[in-house]
Structure 1
Amino acid sequence: MSAMAKKAKNFKKSRTGLYVSLGSTAFGAISVAKQAKLARQDGDVLRLIDAAVSAAAIVTGLAILYRELKRLGDDDVLLG
């Protein structure tokens, strides 16, 4: 396996990969907020529950990504 392929394979475990994951999770939070707003306007309890469960999953995901980012420290895979 070439050096470039190894770097690409380990991208998700790198600091940059974690930042990309944090960003995409944050965009998911925007979608959940819109879903909750529409559910409240429509008075749809089931959609509101779905939005709450999704929000809890997003918060948990962000916490896990933050923990991994702190664990990574200065050992960035892409920087060598």
Structure 2
Amino acid sequence: MSALTKAKGFKKSKAGTYLSIGTTAFGAISVAKQAKKARTDNDTLKLLDAIVSAAAIATGVALLLRELKRIGDDDVLLG
């Protein structure tokens, strides 16, 4: 099995999904800082950008959690 095949398999594994959730959550820290700075500067456009980014992060985490649940359901059926 090639390294590329292993890497693609990791992305769909439980560990890969947890890693994706972690990196997505790390992005949430950046968005929170962006929103705080936008509020301080009274910059409505930057605040709107932060809100849209936060919605995208929330959607991404929800999709990853759904994938994690699906992986967990598959494990139960296989085991």
TM-score class normalised by the smaller sequence: 0.7 to 0.9
Other-structure match for 2:66:
67
Provide structure 1 residue ranges, at least 5 long, that are not aligned to the other structure.
Answer: 76-80
Give distance in 1, aligned partners of 2:42 and 2:68: 39
What TM-score, normalized by structure 2, do the two folds share? 0.86
- Return structure 1 stretches of 4+ with deviation > 6 angstroms: none
Letter in 2 for 1:30: I
Other-structure match for 2:53:
54
Provide structure 2 residue ranges, at least 5 long, that are not aligned to the other structure.
Answer: none
Give distance in 1, aligned partners of 2:62 and 2:54: 12
Root-mean-square deviation (CA), in Å? 1.5
Percent identity of the aligned residues? 66
Aligned residues: 74
| Higher share in helix | 2
What TM-score, normalized by structure 1, do the two folds share? 0.85
1:16-55 equivalence runs, <5 A:
16-55=15-54
Q: RCO greater where, 1 or 2, for CA within 8 Å and sep 6 or more?
A: 1
Give distance in 2, aligned partners of 1:5 and 1:38: 40
Deviations 1:39-68 (A, max 9, x none): 000000000000000000000000000000
Structure 1 position 6, deviation (Å): 3.1
